[in-house]
A and B are shown apart, each in its own frame.
Chain A
Amino acid sequence: MWKFIHKLASPPHFFRIAAYIIPWLVVPGLLLVGYATYAGLFLAPADYQQGDAFRIIYVHVPSAYLSMMAYMIMAVSAGIGLIWRIKLSHAVAAAAAPLGAWFTFLALATGSIWGKPMWGTWWEWGDPRLTSELIMLFLYFGYMALRGAIDDTAKADKSSAVLALVGAVNVPIIHFSVEWWSSLHQGPTLVKEGGPAMDPAMLYPLLAMILGFTFLFGALLLRRVRAEVLFRERRTRWVKEMILSGGQ
């Protein structure tokens, strides 16, 4: 097990193994998202209160979940990179940030579109979760800006790792303080005691969508890490040999 992990942490091995894994994530991801799109749009009944507008949760909830997941992946791999000095995990952190920022943006955009029919405004400061997503987006921007400002890759890795870790400690505090600040967001329907409060016909497409988004996120992340590894190792022999042999 440990041997496998050590092997995986070496860039050439990762580069090769990731290429094998990506299709295994893309195919089920596309199938799940395809099913969930169809089921969410046509099979799920309209909500008795929100009508057809509720269907945006099929994009909103997975994006919001991935925006936080990506931050966690970023902070954990940055921490691993800082503590055990594994270069690959810095590459993972670097690759996860723009993806996380994008899903945060998607969550904000869909939340705001949902807000228009539900609350009557595009943006509602009274909603704590929308507000903490916005702060999350700023955290991602700060992380990427710091990375962009430092030319030396090794230094950028470590500096941004410190920032990611301090940010990770702050994320729950930010979330809590924004919640205290005001509350308008509808209560949690998915994760709560006594199971989800949702009709199965609405619920299954949502779960499928979350799973499908996660698969596709994993595929995108691996692809980005591969590109990042290739760029960082551009002066090494294995990259040269690989290119000369014309292979993957």
Chain B
Amino acid sequence: MKSKEKQDFWSTSWKVEQKPLRVDIGDLSLTINHQHHEWRLAYFWTKKENQGDCSCHFIDEFPETPTSLGGIHNGLARIAMETMTDELTFNPQLADRPVVVRPYSPLLIPANNKITLYISAPLWLCINFSKKVKRELPVQQLSDTWMGLITGKGELCYGSYTHARLDQDMLLRLPYRALTPVTMRNKSNADFTLERLSIPAPYLSLYAGDGQLVTEPLSIVMDSEKHQGVVEIGKVSGKKAITPPRKKADKGILVNTWENLFA
């Protein structure tokens, strides 16, 4: 599927009547069947390590039992509808929890230095059955992880790995991942090693970028000596807004404890 076609995936509406619709996006394979007053979903994930594609086509049979599904962590769902339509649309959505990204190798940010790195995170596929009835599934299954103290003062997040690229030209542009530019300013006199970073996904919006969905840029000012970190959500101009944020941050600023941001 070409880049423009991949982007059109999000803006296309599908008419599902006689034959089930099969959607393959990232690691997720989803089959949707239209029946009398209900929608039926069958889904599973298989790890493809960012090699997965983005496609939709009609198939002949709907898998009725979990054993006929492939992959791991599969599921079947039935959604009852008061008023049935036969049209579906798909929306991209960011994660419903913060995403903790871990660079494949730790990154050292020298004292009094500022860098910009590019982090991508998988999207959630939001299936719109009607204006009010939706269902979300992650295109890549992320592990649970915890940021903060294990005795309770922390937050349940998703865990992911990232190359944390500093060069935009090296980015792998995938239609099912969203890119977040993160500017990190180390204002202390000590070097800082980035091993983990929490991206506040529920507070970010999605915009249509150049062959890639993007979010607002983040600006993090940190002082590792004082254990302080302030995350500021920037603004995006000149790009079409696709999905609003799940939560609103006051004045675009999130003040996190050090443990919830990096540790």
**Do A and B form a real pair?**
no
Query: B residues bordering A, Cβ < 8 Å?
Result: none
Query: A residues bordering B, Cβ < 8 Å?
Result: none
